[in-house]
Amino acid sequence: MRLFFTGELVRHEPLDWQNKGLTYTRTGYGAKIPTQYKIFHAEKWRRVYCVIFSNIGSLYIMQGKEKIIINLEA
């Protein structure tokens, strides 16, 4: 499933380690890297995650055990 979100459904909410300029992993790569954003989906604010290897990443949220791929549009 792919969802599209606009600005009013997205909020900037960095985690403490992101405010300090740190990365989640030493390399910056991984399968569930938390981003600084949350989106409103299914009556709940959900953290946006990134799966990133090499030089490309995909954004997604979790709904239960299901990954939902998203596109953030300004």
Task: Give how far the C-alpha of residue 18 lies from the chain's centroid of Cα atoms, to the nearest Å.
Answer: 13
Distance CA(50)–CA(72), nearest Å, equals: 12
Residue 35's pLDDT is: 93
User: Using one digit for the tens of pLDDT, what is the confidence trace for 39-63?
Assistant: 988 889 999 999 999 888 999 999 9
Residue 9's pLDDT is: 83
Residue 16's pLDDT is: 93
Residue 1's pLDDT is: 58
Closest CA relative to residue 63, chosen from 46, 51, 50, 49: 46
DSSP H or E segment with residue 16: helix 16-19
Average pLDDT of the residues of the chain: 86
Q: What is the pTM of this model?
A: 0.82
